[in-house]
Amino acid sequence: MESSKNLKIAEIKGEVMEINVKAKILSLSKREVQSAKGPLTYHYGLIGDETGVMPFTAWSFPTTVRENDVYEISKCYTKSYKEKLRIYFDNRTEFKLLTETMEVKRTYKYYEIKDLNLNDKFVTVEGLVTSENRREYEKDGEKKEVFQYILKDQTATIPLSSFGKKLEAGKYARIEGARLDEFNGYYRLNMSDKANVEYINIDLKDEEKIMDIVNLRGAVGGITVTGFIINMGEKSGLVVRCSECNLKVDDIRCSDHPEAPLKYDIFTYFTIDDGTDYLQVSAGFEALKEIANINREYLDNPQRPPLKKEVKEKIESALTHHALKIKGNLRINNMGISLRSTEISAITEDLVKSLKTEINGGSN
């Protein structure tokens, strides 16, 4: 009779035929593929124990198995898939639910902020810790605190909330075990007081990095792109807002605040192309005021209210017919990725070329 071997995750080396592990299901997903015999459903995810974490694939899986539960899993095997060792469960594998808790030792892959993506939610990141903001909240009747920062590396920025642990603002930190998620179209990082923080002596170079649009991935901030406008949004120009709720008013008054005075504002959206791809951009007053030469006095002048046509022309002539440099934050939705700009400036075509040369390593 064959007996299978009890192994810790870190002890699993190479392809083995039959082993038993005691592990926690860390993540669990389902996928359907087409096989020669018709549609085939399998499960995959991560399991871990005190020694490490490993990806798994389950060809057969009890429906009672849940994320965050600990199991004694017998008769599984390992195989290399895409040069990475995976553990496999099939119809001989047995799952026995255990009531004990387990502290899993995780390893977190390092990402530059621009490369963060929701396929890998627990990560290691580095960056300058900036702009501290402390907030209190209550959880289960207990007073807790969260510290909010913007983390900035040489590629991008991202908001970071640290629950219960104050970081050293102004220092460059390496954070292991931050969790990435998306809120309202923007990425953000959260960390608990268990995340490992180490301060490194690195001077972040204050140089602007122009990104190729084709390389933009996640909804991170502090991004700079260049390009030409290839399409101007038709509803760009003067907008009217309620002074109470700041929402756009299409009628002559806000339906929620009919008494509130209205105020003029500007807004535009357009598509730019930098030769690698195109990108949807939106911009409000702050991003437009300088380049379109429109100030508050112009918009708020009671003697001469701004004219729709004039504003539209001012914005269009300022933005078209030359290259633009646009800074802002990327946002993601079901239409794809777009840029909420915070700053727009005009640049010469020569500068665009020299910038491109720089990014490409100066090799052309």
| Closer CB to Zn ion, 244 or 290, in the complex | 244
The binding track of 247-286 with respect to Zn ion, each residue x by CB under 5 A or -, is -------x-xx-----------------------------
Q: Of the candidates 178, 239, 242, 315, which one interacts with Zn ion according to CB under 5 A?
A: 242
| Closer CB to Zn ion, 244 or 316, in the complex | 244
* Tokens representing residue 200 in the block: 């490194």
Tell me how far apart the alpha carbons of residues 116 and 134 are, in angstroms, rounded to a whole number: 25
Instruction: Round to the nearest angstrom and report the end-to-end CA distance of the chain.
Output: 67
CB of 268 to Zn ion, least distance (A): 22
CB of 285 to Zn ion, least distance (A): 18
CB of 251 to Zn ion, least distance (A): 11
CB of 249 to Zn ion, least distance (A): 7
Tell me how far apart the alpha carbons of residues 142 and 11 are, in angstroms, rounded to a whole number: 41
Tell me how far apart the alpha carbons of residues 200 and 206 are, in angstroms, rounded to a whole number: 17
DSSP 111-174: --GGG--TT--EEEEEEEEEEEEEEEEEETTEEEEEEEEEEE-SS-EEEEEEES----TTSEEE
- Site membership for Zn ion, residue 245 (CB under 5 A): yes
Q: List phi, psi (to 5°) of 185.
A: 90, -5
CA distances from 187 to 24, 47, 91, 111 (A): 27, 25, 39, 14
| Closer CB to Zn ion, 165 or 253, in the complex | 253
3 state SS of 305: coil
CB of 183 to Zn ion, least distance (A): 24
Tell me how far apart the alpha carbons of residues 280 and 35 are, in angstroms, rounded to a whole number: 39
Window of 185-193, 215-223, 235-243, 303-311 that interacts with Zn ion by CB under 5 A: 235-243
* Residues 41-80 close enough to bind Zn ion by CB under 5 A: none
The binding track of 315-334 with respect to Zn ion, each residue x by CB under 5 A or -, is --------------------
| Closer CB to Zn ion, 207 or 250, in the complex | 250
CB of 205 to Zn ion, least distance (A): 45
Interacting residues toward Zn ion by CB under 5 A: 242, 244-245, 254, 256-257
